[in-house]
Structure 1
Amino acid sequence: MNKSTYLLPIVVIVIAGLLSSIFIVDERQKALVLQFGRVVSVKEDPGLAFKIPLVQEVVTYDDRILSIDVGPIEVTPADDRRLVVDAFARFRIADVVQFRQAVGNGGEVVAGQRLDRILTAETREVLGTVSSKDILSTDRAALMLRIRNAAIAEARALGLEVVDVRLKATDLPPQNLEATFERMRAEREREATDERARGNEAAQRVRAQADRTVVELVSEARREAEITRGEADAERNAIFADAFGADPEFFEFYRSLNAYRAALQSGNSTMVLSPDSDFFNYFKDVQGR
């Protein structure tokens, strides 16, 4: 058996050992080199790195900014009006050694669970010091900043850095929705009733003003009509007086004709008078002629 027969397995073993001692650190990751479970080195720069085969192992963690959904969280603000809040947070692994010591083999899953508990507690504590109006307002960036700052210290113990915390949605609990809707409906009905009452009051004022204006206009028109009628009657009487003074007999004849016209209308007219009545004096004169 020649030497090449012995060298080939040795070369294969050397090459396999060399390859198993090389690992690649991705630019999106951080790596820990563990020896019997103990951290011996940290690889944060991307590229090739080395480890001892069979003795050391490599554990990688995501170096990017991660996100976690928190909620729904039921909070009780200072005005005792319960709310249900949905939030999310963004974080990154800042210290991989401390992160490994805090979560062990659980990795990012266990870290997310513990961070969820931290954010839930801090959200309840911060939102419990303000009113529901402040939480529901559009200007709530200060509240989110307070929650983030309060969570930073506790998250640092896990080797995490909390980058941001946002409140996604804020709603009433289902059991409170109907009562809230009823209260809102009652408030709107009360406002509508007040508006109708004010409208009716304004309408009555306008109607009373219009009625008074009508009465005043009619009274003024009647007054002017009476004045005009009186002036006409005075002028007529003056004309009659002048006519009577000029020719009394003609004036009597004219008055008799007007009386005949008023008494003897068209159709059948029956009059019962004494034979010596003065009403038909001018008829008597015509008959006498």
Structure 2
Amino acid sequence: MARRNFLTALALPALFVVGAVAMASIFIVDEREKALVLRLGRVVNVQEEPGLGFKVPFLDDVVKYDSRILGLPTNPLEVTPLDDRRLVVDAFARWRITDVVRFRQAVGTGGIDAALTRLDPIVNAAIREVLGSVPSTTVLSDDRTVLMNQIRDEARRNSAGLGVEVIDVRLTRTDLPEQNLNATYARMRAEREREAADEIARGGEAAQRVRAAADRTVVELTSEARKRAEVVRGEADAERNAIYAAAFGRDPEFFAFTRSMTSYERAIRGNNSSIVMQPDSEFFSYLKSDGAANANPAPPPSVEQSDAGAAVSDDEELVTPTITDRDGNELGAAAGVRLTPMPESLTTPPEEGPAVTLPDDGAAVEDAPAPDAQAPAETN
């Protein structure tokens, strides 16, 4: 009984030791990891598949690395393109471990952090090399896929010895340096202001041309209208004067009487006017007599004459009188105005009237005086 108890007491620690040894010889590899089995610092096994793995307890060490795609953000980098125009570039690289043995040999015990330290200068060098071979306009363009693929391929070749693969490199920001931004913006503003000034100048020139053409058209239309109005007014005055001359020439006494009445109306206006002249002056001739004894009106036509005149008038041809100016040009022709046709008898000048006896001395005058000679003098 005592022996059994002793064996039981020894079996429990042995079972514990066996369990501990068994646990120390087993390791688990996740699907997101790759593992290396190291014995005294040397790689003895590579476990890339997920599941259980075995090692020598207390002699082998297991080192695990992330097998997923990892990121590498770079610091802002200043590059000089082919046209010597400096640019500030931000990039982002994606990479993963492809050969864990070579990766272990390259980075040692530093792991992922050491790999990031080694990859950063490789990616920066690739960015400088590729962007330095093209002008800045290509770098600043919208389509930079070709440049990013070249940077990726260059970084992939240079990092092959690390046991990693650079999957992709993206340029997140491409801009001018801070010290050049103000000068660039000022140049852009000056260029836009120059273009705006050119557009304003061209618009002002066009507006001035339109305004000048409109002003010239207004002057031409106004001048032409004024010219036509003066021509029409002159022709109307000429026709009026001709009618007046024909009417007054038929009875000079009546014309003199009319002019005297007009003179009386203008001289005696009731505004305290004073007239000093002799009582027997010719100005008062029609105040002494109305001049009816000296009148020579046209005799009224008889019935036979009226009928004959009517017949003649009906058969008489209508003609358009011709009135010319001092240069011999027909009045109204330039303005498109035509005088009203009238009987031919009215277009001939009136004959000289008979002698007229003046009322003051009764002397007879052989020839009819001019209309202006019979008008009394006007005194204002």
Q: In the alignment, which residue of structure 2 is the partner of 1:228?
A: 232
Q: Distance in 2 between matches of 1:149 and 1:143?
A: 10
Residue correspondence of structure 1 range 178-193 to structure 2 within 5 A: 178-193=182-197
- Identify which of 68, 80, 86 aligns with 1:76: 80
Q: Counterpart of 2:19 in 1: which secondary structure?
A: helix
- Give, in angstroms, the shift of residue 268 of structure 1: 2.3
* Residue 140 (structure 1) aligned with residue 134 (structure 2): no
* Residue 87 (structure 1) aligned with residue 82 (structure 2): no
Q: Distance in 1 between matches of 2:155 and 2:240?
A: 108
Matched residue count: 287
Q: Distance in 1 between matches of 2:11 and 2:286?
A: 174
- Give, in angstroms, the shift of residue 281 of structure 1: 5.3
Q: Counterpart of 2:170 in 1: which secondary structure?
A: strand
Q: Distance in 2 between matches of 1:253 and 1:51?
A: 157
TM-score, normalisation: structure 1: 0.89
Q: In the alignment, which residue of structure 2 is the partner of 1:30?
A: 34
The superposition leaves residues 206-233 of structure 1 with CA deviations (integer Å, 9 ceiling, x where unpaired) of 2211221121111121122122212322
Structure with greater strand share of residues = 1
- Identify which of 40, 47, 52 aligns with 2:44: 40
- Identify which of 20, 23, 29 aligns with 1:19: 23
- Give, in angstroms, the shift of residue 105 of structure 1: 0.9
Q: Counterpart of 2:159 in 1: which secondary structure?
A: helix
| Partner AA of 1:99 in structure 2 | F
* Residue 101 (structure 1) aligned with residue 105 (structure 2): yes
Structure with greater helix share of residues = 1
Q: Distance in 2 between matches of 1:240 and 1:195?
A: 66
Q: Distance in 1 between matches of 2:172 and 2:260?
A: 105
Residue correspondence of structure 1 range 160-175 to structure 2 within 5 A: 160-175=164-179
From the superposition, tell whether residues 7 and 224 of structure 1 become closer, same or farther in structure 2 (CA, over 3 Å): same
Q: Counterpart of 1:16 in 2: which secondary structure?
A: helix
- Bigger mean CA offset, 239-248 vs 135-144: 239-248
- Give, in angstroms, the shift of residue 144 of structure 1: 0.8
Q: Counterpart of 1:71 in 2: which secondary structure?
A: coil
- Identify which of 194, 199, 203 aligns with 1:199: 203
The superposition leaves residues 9-50 of structure 1 with CA deviations (integer Å, 9 ceiling, x where unpaired) of 111111111112111111111111111111112111111221
Q: Counterpart of 1:268 in 2: which secondary structure?
A: coil
Q: In the alignment, which residue of structure 1 is the partner of 2:245?
A: 241
Q: In the alignment, which residue of structure 2 is the partner of 1:270?
A: 273
The superposition leaves residues 57-96 of structure 1 with CA deviations (integer Å, 9 ceiling, x where unpaired) of 1111111111111120000111111110011011111111
- Give, in angstroms, the shift of residue 282 of structure 1: 4.2
* Residue 110 (structure 1) aligned with residue 114 (structure 2): yes
What's the Cα RMSD here? 2.5
Q: Counterpart of 2:96 in 1: which secondary structure?
A: strand
- Deviating beyond 3 angstroms after TM superposition, the runs of 4 or more aligned structure 1 residues are 245-261, 263-267, 269-286
Q: Distance in 2 between matches of 1:143 and 1:134?
A: 9
From the superposition, tell whether residues 91 and 252 of structure 1 become closer, same or farther in structure 2 (CA, over 3 Å): farther
Percent sequence identity over matched residues?
61
From the superposition, tell whether residues 35 and 244 of structure 1 become closer, same or farther in structure 2 (CA, over 3 Å): same
Q: Distance in 2 between matches of 1:218 and 1:144?
A: 74
TM-score, normalisation: structure 2: 0.69
